[in-house]
Amino acid sequence: MMLVLSYGSVTRTSPIFDHEKMPSNVGAISEAFRRSHGVVRSVHPTHSVCAMGPLADELTADHHMDRTPLGLYSSFIKLVERDGLVLFIGCGLRPNTLMHGVEEIVEPSYLFGLEVEYTIILRGGCSIAGVTSRTISAAVSRDTIGSLLCSVGEISGRKRCRSGDLCFES
């Protein structure tokens, strides 16, 4: 599974997401993967992912049902539920989109921006108008992420971690 985010192209002022044609705005590797044979893309206007392999359909299904980028139907949450791993190549933790999923559980006041109404164009030209999703408005620091993970750990009944840590023990 790989991010093929389109939030740079699909915006409040340009709210059309072409599921089949919209390129990734997070680099050449993700765009090459998106175009590869056998790859399946989730349907989300700003935070879609692509997947390949036996779990591809399962991981990418239902993402369009979320009203936020990393909600309960998102591929990101399904990756966590399947004990998936996240690999960072050539970057630190700052661009970790999965952390917004943690934020969405805690719902800090800074996280969400406007709700935007999108049109999604599916394979074959069928379109779905009026799909709404809230935008993510801010990036967070490592310390904030650590605090959020501690909060999530407390909510889920897990042991509390030290502030600033990026994982917690169960």
Mean pLDDT per 10-residue interval, the chain, length 170 residues: 92 92 93 96 93 96 88 88 85 76 77 84 86 69 52 46 38
Half-sphere exposure for 89 (CA within 13 Å, toward CB)? 6
Determine whether 150 is exposed, middle or buried from the number of CB atoms within 10 Å of its CB (0-12, 13-18, 19+).
buried
With H, G, I as helix, E, B as strand and everything else as coil, classify residue 121.
Answer: strand
In a domain? residue 129: yes
Q: What is the DSSP string of 26-95?
A: S-HHHHHHHTSTT-EE---TTT-EEE-STTHHHHHTTGGG-SSTTSTTSHHHHHHHTT-----SS--STT
Rounded to two decimals, what is the model's pTM?
Answer: 0.74
pLDDT of residue 6: 92
In a domain? residue 117: yes
104's enclosing H/E stretch is helix 99-106
What are 2's strand-pairing partners? 50
In a domain? residue 151: no
Give the other-Cβ count within 10 Å of 138's Cβ. Answer: 11
In a domain? residue 168: no
pLDDT of residue 89: 80
In a domain? residue 156: no
In a domain? residue 162: no
Q: How many domains does the chain have?
A: 1
β-pairing verdict for 40-41 and 16-18: unpaired
pLDDT of residue 155: 45
In a domain? residue 56: yes
pLDDT of residue 144: 53
In a domain? residue 146: no
117 lies in which domain range? Answer: 2-87+97-139
pLDDT of residue 143: 53
